[in-house]
Structure 1
Amino acid sequence: MSINTIYKVTLHPFINESIASLKSMTSLSGSAGETFLDKVEDFRFKGYAVCSNITGCLDGVIMMHHYPETAVAIGNSVCQNMFDEKYDYQEINEELSNALAEWGNTIVGRATDLLSRNNLKFDFSSPYFIHNFNDMEKYLEGVKEIVTVPISVEGVGRYYFNLLVRNVNFQTTNVEREQSTGISNPHTKPLPLESKVLLVDDSAMIRKALKRFLAGLGYNNVIEADDGLTAVEAVKNENPDFMFMDVVMTNMNGNEALKTIRAIGSEVPVVMLSSVTDKGLVDECQQIGVSGFIFKPIQADNGAEIIKNYLKIA
């Protein structure tokens, strides 16, 4: 098992996506350093990590690994780009954790989608977060090799991608980054400003940003839900006129919630949001009945315009 094989097949799309997301979500510039092998016995936790378990022909963990000060700087930049405001937190708090989660979710969602298209016979879990070394110990159990790629962020510092490998059995496939585009709303009539809009996303940060974009466009009758089950109840009880809904959420994903909403007879226009660009998922949502599909990220400099383009009915 060579570093070259692992890098091309597994790490390459994650690194590409993280550098691309740095530019689009933080306006920071990043570059990848040389890949190297870490010694398992010497591996040290640096303070903050976004992880995803890998199962199938590759068994292990992919990890975006930050020093605390790097995580703080990136989290502040994500917030600044999302809300067009100055952020200067000095340590990780709930708002920065939400920002880093959104950044990590975007990277993992897009990279794993790209890998899935190559039929590599391994899968990734939803991203999760590690904040202290005691949490790390269980993920090092059975790890045979650790492949590391440093990412230097201009003016900030660096973070690392670590591939913690327990077992591997797959063939090499070259992967390249694809530019993802959303599915536009085919309707032409603008949604009336007094309409009730339901925002559904398990990220409080995304809901906050969307609410700001809507307010800037004159839509102030906005309600929120943080998962698919709550969204279904909101449709039943609140009778919204329009919905924006994430796909990957806790309790019930957006595509399942959409099926349920249509099954109970609601024809409310729904625009889906996701960092997952899988064509099968997009096709499924279109067949169920959506009014568009937005691929994340959306930022302060383009968010209002993107949302405006989707706020159409009939």
Structure 2
Amino acid sequence: MSVEALYKVILYPFINESLASLTAMTNLVGEAGDAFVDNVDDFRFKGYAVCSEVTGGLDGVIMMHHYPETAIAIGNSVCEHMFEEKYQFTEINEDLSNALAEWGNTIVGRSTDLHGRYSLDYKFSSPYFVHDVNDMDKYLVGVKEVITVPISVNGVGRYYFNLLIRNVEYQSIGVKREASTGIANPHSKVLPSESKILLVDDSAMIRKALKRYLSQLGYSNVIEANDGAVAVTMVQQEQPDFMIMDVVMGEMNGDQALANIRANGSNVPVVMLSSVTDKALIERCQSYGISGFIFKPIQADTGAEIIKDYLKIAQ
């Protein structure tokens, strides 16, 4: 498979989605440069990366790769755009790690979902993060070729997409980017302001943002869970009136938690929230009974309005 074909098939959806998410989540503007082949022996870790393993017809790793200063600037911008507050962190701390993880997860989730809509002979792992230069050597074992695409961010610097290739067997298929929206709540009765709302997301940043949007709408009785398994227990113990729940989490994903909640006899209205827009996943959640599906990202300027549209229950 040629560099051009690999760029179009594997990298293009990631790059396109990263540029769209950069604008949506930070108000920054980026531009992709030309793809080129890196020398494997000269390839060096820049300091921070979001990675996903590629298996099947292509064996390798796709990496969204930053210098620390670029990661810090983008992380600050993600925080500012989500909370409408000025952030000026100078090193990657917990807040910036959460912000960068949310940005990276959104990009990888949307991109891998797009790939999954086609009959392609490769799959992607869940995203993970590399912070330690000493960890890089193990990712280069067996790598025969590195394809790199630089992304220039106006006023900030650069980050890079690298495709580390161990083996390729697949022949190219064109891929087109599709826009993702959301699935509306079909109900019409507004959720009473005194209702108890359970937020379920493994990202503390997302929970903080959602809680802020709910507060802006007059909802103050909000409880939180950081995993699907915790949510199952809290539904039984706390009897929430409404839930907003992420899909991809640690111990138990949101769709599994939803199945358990329904099996336990609860009919609490649930709105799902995720960057993963896989049709089969959405249909599975709908089969358990949901009151809508919000596709990330959501931001400070639109977050409260988006959430408001979903805070409805059956008459």
Calculate the TM-score normalised by the size of structure 1: 0.99
Match status 1:149 vs 2:149: yes
Residue in structure 2 matched with residue 181 of structure 1 by the alignment: 181
Q: How does 1:86-125 map to 2 (within 5 A)?
A: 86-125=86-125
SS in 2 for 1:95: helix
Q: How does 1:224-303 map to 2 (within 5 A)?
A: 224-303=224-303
Shift of 1:57: 1.1
CA distances 1:219-273 after superposition (whole Å, capped 9, x unpaired): 1111111111001011011110000000011111100110000000000000000
Whether the 8 Å CA contact 1:40–1:143 is kept in 2: the answer is: yes
Residue in structure 2 matched with residue 78 of structure 1 by the alignment: 78
Aligned residue-pair number: 314
Shift of 1:126: 1.0
Match status 1:197 vs 2:180: no
Shift of 1:145: 0.4
Shift of 1:121: 1.9
Shift of 1:174: 1.0
Distance 2:176 2:80 in 1: 29
CA distances 1:69-125 after superposition (whole Å, capped 9, x unpaired): 000000000000100111111111000000000000000000001111111121111
Structure 1 unmatched ranges of 5 or more:
none
Whether the 8 Å CA contact 1:51–1:64 is kept in 2: the answer is: yes
Distance 1:54 1:35 in 2: 19
Whether the 8 Å CA contact 1:180–1:277 is kept in 2: the answer is: yes
Whether the 8 Å CA contact 1:143–1:166 is kept in 2: the answer is: yes
Residue in structure 2 matched with residue 2 of structure 1 by the alignment: 2
Residue in structure 2 matched with residue 129 of structure 1 by the alignment: 129
Distance 1:168 1:82 in 2: 39
Distance 1:275 1:204 in 2: 16
Shift of 1:287: 1.1
Q: Which amino acid aligns with 1:124?
A: F
SS in 2 for 1:118: coil
Shift of 1:280: 1.1
CA distances 1:6-41 after superposition (whole Å, capped 9, x unpaired): 101100000000000000000000000011111111
Distance 2:194 2:256 in 1: 28
Residue in structure 2 matched with residue 12 of structure 1 by the alignment: 12
Distance 2:301 2:131 in 1: 31
SS in 2 for 1:199: strand
Match status 1:47 vs 2:43: no
Distance 2:175 2:81 in 1: 29
Shift of 1:206: 0.4
Q: Which amino acid aligns with 1:99?
A: A
SS in 2 for 1:12: helix
Whether the 8 Å CA contact 1:118–1:173 is kept in 2: the answer is: no
Q: Which amino acid aligns with 2:162?
A: N
Residue in structure 1 matched with residue 172 of structure 2 by the alignment: 172
Q: Which amino acid aligns with 2:163?
A: L
Structure 2 unmatched ranges of 5 or more:
none
SS in 1 for 2:173: coil
Pairwise CA RMSD of aligned residues?
0.6
Whether the 8 Å CA contact 1:84–1:300 is kept in 2: the answer is: yes
Distance 2:43 2:122 in 1: 25
SS in 1 for 2:138: helix
